[in-house]
Amino acid sequence: MHGVLQFKSARGEGSFRPYRRKDAKRTKSGCLSCRVRHTKCDETKPICGGCVRNHLLCTWPNSGKTIITSASAGSDRPEQSQNATSLRRLSPNRALSLWPRLNGRSGEQRLLQHYIERSAQRLVIRDVIKNPFLAYMLPLAQQNDGFLHAVFAISASHLSYDDQQSHIVALSHYGVALRAVKYLITEYGSGYNRNPVVIVMLLLALCNFEDISVTMALSTAASADEKHVDIKSAATASSSTVKGDGALQLLAAGGEAGTLDHEASHRLVRKIDLYVMPLICIVYFLQYLDKIAISYASVTGLRESANLHGNQFNWVSSMFFFGQLAFQFPTTRLIQAFPLARYVAFNVTVWGTILACMAACHSFAALMVCRTLLGAAEAAVVPAWVVFTSQWYRKEEQAFRVGLWFSMCGFAQMFGGYIAYGVAIHIGGDPTASLRGWQVIFLILGLFTVVIGILFFFILPDSPVTARFLSPEEKALHAERLRSNVQGIGSNVFKKAQVYEALKDPNTWLYSFWVLAANVPNSIATSFGNILVSGMGYSQTQSLLLVTPLGAYEVVALVGLTYLAMKTEQRLLWCIIGHIPSIVGAILMATTDKAPALVGYYLTGGIPIGWTTILGLTSTNIAGSTKKITVSCIQTIAYTVGNIISPQTFQAKDAPQYLPAKISIVILYVLVTLDLCLIRWLSIRENRRRDQEKEALGNAYTVPQNHEFLDLTDRENPEFRYAI
């Protein structure tokens, strides 16, 4: 075996065997690193010249005897030795910069610093002049990754006395060190020249880790004895406080997950589809229908009742997205801070109430206020649905599920048209009616949404961890299913580093550009759909029915293309193909009249396949809970900005043809298609680079145990591959 199990020089240049310099006498007064290498030390403090030249950590022996007790008997804040004090004279970055492999890895630098200053002192069981856990372990850790991870595991386990969040870090490093022992023993038994003393020392280090871990577990169990909490329960409780992922709680609480075969996984997916997808789809159906209700109201008497003139209706349409934009950042943080399903249910109930209240609006100002509040309440939907999808489904399952719930927009387009047509026929704009047509529409949709919001609160679980319809074994099986996502099911811990990474990630801005550019023409399906069709030469009542085929085409395109994407695992390719008819349709709208223009209007219903693809890619290709929510937030901002601009492209002076708006639609559809091509090319290139890097490292390539559930981002996790 090669790689991490070989002794390496400090510069990583091949294997070597420690040797004794012929021209140097063994030093008895130098630093510990020079002593163990049998080289003369120039005794320059705090860092000698030899350690500087060889990139070694320079530590010094105790100046006098210090009583050090064992970990189980002494205080966890032992008196610091001279070598620890000398290290504190330097900043941690300065002292640890002598370990080139740790540059830029602040977490591991902190663990090494803690080991030198505290953990190593607690491992000795009697007075010593030279601490062997410093004198021998550190040079070996310089040369062998197995020893280095053992040092990290001991240090993190010691830290977990005061900080339970370090427990999962300790387990991860322990797993890597344990594999190193396995390989070393295998090589030794196969005849390789491996020093058995080195193997024994590594085993001793792991035994020390076990001793610390067991002591901590017993201490936790003893403190919880009054509540009859056993060691397993204590471990489960501590796992919920880890800055990792909720999937770790499922694994801790669920016991044995059993064999993850295809049939068991398929049964579990069917069960999740039955319990989760119906409400997910219904609420997404309602959020779109409630948002575009203003379009149906516009042709059933709203503009006359509220005395809207000029571009006032444009601004009423846009204010929804101003509210969504203003509340996007707060709602993103609240999604992570509160139980997800409960928070969404609250928002659904609120926006249903606001929509019903719009039936009482008879002025431009009142409509502006209500539309703003409606947008603020609906701001949670898109980020929340991305999180729901990623915590319930595998990568290969997500595209089709996103297509399903997003296809509800098409059903809403059809259903809303039929409802509005029925209201227009039976009530119309009769001024003597107690309720005008537009008021009936707002009341029906608003009250129905309130009922669904209440049901959502009591039925949908916040995450797989709290799902009552899953047994503990099924929860553990679900966690194993999602291991291949390399993302877990989400963490409630907010991490600033993931926010910064999201802002620097090109994918964030490529995805968001598509969302912005594709939503500028969105008014053709929302606020101005009926007005645009009326301008083609049809009556306002006819337009309520004629817009419904747009929704039908959207449903067929979404479900069909996402199904093909799932089967071929080529979602971006099918998305690009789906955009081509939409470009043709936009050209027909801009250059023809009546029937050809209406057909072109229907063909533009293929553009939402790109929206589902971007949402799916955000769920699949953006890892790290905080990063995922941050990217979703940026996309929703892009979505709201695009929709704020959208009604303003339909200026009253351009009615009824709105030619400038139609030309802009053609240009933007071409740009978003090119954007998808660029995303696909970059993803393929990055996947190829990671594969080549892994192949080049060979056996030296290692990843932490349970790395899938450590809430790592797609950039931090070398095992992550981007879906295309």
In this predicted model, what pLDDT tens digit does every residue of 264-302 receive, in sequence order?
888 899 999 999 999 999 999 999 999 989 988 887 888
Last residue of a domain, one of 158, 192, 218: 218
pLDDT tens figures, 540-558: 778 888 888 888 888 888 8
Local confidence band at 157 (pLDDT 50, 70, 90 cut-offs)? confident
Local confidence band at 373 (pLDDT 50, 70, 90 cut-offs)? very high
- When comparing pLDDT for 64 and 434, which is higher? 434
Q: Which pLDDT score, from 0 to 100, does residue 710 have?
A: 65
pLDDT at 695 over 60: yes
Q: Running DSSP on this structure, what letter comes out for residue 8?
A: B
Q: Which pLDDT score, from 0 to 100, does residue 233 have?
A: 41
Determine, yes or no, domain membership for 574: yes
Determine, yes or no, domain membership for 3: no
What is the rounded average pLDDT of the residues 692-715?
A: 72
pLDDT at 106 over 70: no
Residues 275 and 399 in one domain: yes
Residues 510 and 469 in one domain: no
pLDDT at 227 over 50: no
CA-to-CA dists, residue 15 to 3, 6, 8, 29, 193, angstroms: 9, 6, 5, 29, 12
Residues 623 and 474 in one domain: no
Return d(Cα 12, Cα 446) in angstroms, integer: 67
- Structural contact between residues 332 and 630, judged by C-beta atoms closer than 8 angstroms: yes
Last residue of a domain, one of 158, 186, 218: 218
- Structural contact between residues 296 and 419, judged by C-beta atoms closer than 8 angstroms: yes
Residues 458 and 543 in one domain: no
- When comparing pLDDT for 39 and 81, which is higher? 39
Q: Which pLDDT score, from 0 to 100, does residue 57 have?
A: 57
Q: Which pLDDT score, from 0 to 100, does residue 663 have?
A: 92
Find how far residue 506's CA is from the centre of its chain: 16
Residues 195 and 315 in one domain: no
Residues 653 and 551 in one domain: yes
- When comparing pLDDT for 5 and 171, which is higher? 171
Q: Which pLDDT score, from 0 to 100, does residue 257 have?
A: 46
Determine the 3-state secondary structure of 15 from DSSP: strand
- How much is the pTM? 0.57
Residues 270 and 320 in one domain: yes
Local confidence band at 346 (pLDDT 50, 70, 90 cut-offs)? very high
pLDDT at 702 over 90: no
Q: Running DSSP on this structure, what letter comes out for residue 242?
A: S
For position 278, which CATH number holds?
1.20.1250.20
Q: Which pLDDT score, from 0 to 100, does residue 23 have?
A: 44
Q: Name residues whose C-beta falls within 8 Å of residue 688's C-beta, 6 or more positions apart in sequence.
A: none
The crossing angle, in degrees rounded to 10, of helices 328-337 and 312-326 is 40
pLDDT tens figures, 123-149: 765 555 667 777 777 777 777 777 788
Provide the residue range defining the domain that includes 124.
103-218
Determine, yes or no, domain membership for 70: no
Return d(Cα 403, Cα 62) in angstroms, integer: 66
pLDDT at 685 over 90: yes
Average pLDDT, the chain: 76
Residues 473 and 516 in one domain: no
Determine, yes or no, domain membership for 353: yes
Return d(Cα 654, Cα 662) in angstroms, integer: 11
Last residue of a domain, one of 189, 218, 247: 218
pLDDT at 163 over 70: no
Residues 719 and 645 in one domain: yes
Determine, yes or no, domain membership for 29: no
Residues 440 and 309 in one domain: yes
Residues 443 and 339 in one domain: yes
Amino acid occupying residue 577 = I
Return d(Cα 25, Cα 23) in angstroms, integer: 7
Q: Running DSSP on this structure, what letter comes out for residue 658?
A: -
Determine, yes or no, domain membership for 554: yes
What is the rounded average pLDDT of the residues 6-15?
A: 38
Residues 464 and 412 in one domain: yes
pLDDT at 571 over 50: yes
pLDDT at 15 over 60: no
- Structural contact between residues 230 and 221, judged by C-beta atoms closer than 8 angstroms: yes
Determine, yes or no, domain membership for 412: yes
- When comparing pLDDT for 709 and 32, which is higher? 32
Q: Which pLDDT score, from 0 to 100, does residue 153 have?
A: 80
Q: Which pLDDT score, from 0 to 100, does residue 667 have?
A: 94
Number of domains composing the chain: 3
pLDDT at 585 over 80: yes
Determine, yes or no, domain membership for 424: yes
Q: Which pLDDT score, from 0 to 100, does residue 204 have?
A: 66
